[in-house]
Amino acid sequence: MNRIVGIDYGSARVGVAVSDPLGIFASPLETVPSAKIIEYLQNFASREQVERFVVGFPLNLDGAPAQAAPDVDRFLKQLDKHFPEIPVSLEDERFTSVLAHRAMIDGGMKKSERRNKASVDRISAAIILQGYLDKKNRK
């Protein structure tokens, strides 16, 4: 079954999420050091059929690319180089960290667990992917 992979790219860590086989729900998967993300995705793609990557793109409130956008652009070039057959969609990642923290609170996570930035990155990736899935499934 095909999977869609959501990615919240950061210069230190990358949050990864995956869709269910039907492409309805996104689930947090892993947080990976940025230097190892391509290797991680290659291993994942060797076990699962990846249909698409959905990458969070950082925008300012006015819609202009944010300061982190060049880092994401470099990552997108790496994705294209290593996975030329897998399409990539960009998804606005504004407010995903805030939403991730809210989800952690609502889910009853302890304050000490909410401080773990790796958890925030994974959940942010799931929020990015779920936004894409919701739009895709509405059509």
Report pLDDT digits (tens) over 93-130: 876 665 665 665 666 666 666 566 667 788 889 999 99
Q: How many CB atoms lie within 10 A of CB 34?
A: 14
- Which residue from 61, 56, 59 is spatially nearest to 79, judged by alpha carbons? 56
Task: Order the strands of the 88-92 sheet from edge to edge.
Answer: 26-33, 13-19, 2-9, 49-57, 88-92
Considering only 54-58, 98-102, 133-137, which range has the smallest mean pLDDT? 98-102
Question: How far is Cα 96 from Cα 85, in angstroms, rounded to an integer?
Answer: 28
The CATH number of whichever domain residue 105 belongs to comes to: 3.30.420.140
Token pair, residue 6, equals 């959501």
- Is residue 13 a contact partner of residue 31, using CB atoms and an 8 Å limit? yes
Domain that holds residue 34: 2-138
Position 77 scores a pLDDT of 97
Q: What is the pTM of this model?
A: 0.87
Token pair, residue 19, equals 């869709």
Q: Domain tally for the chain?
A: 1
Position 58 scores a pLDDT of 85
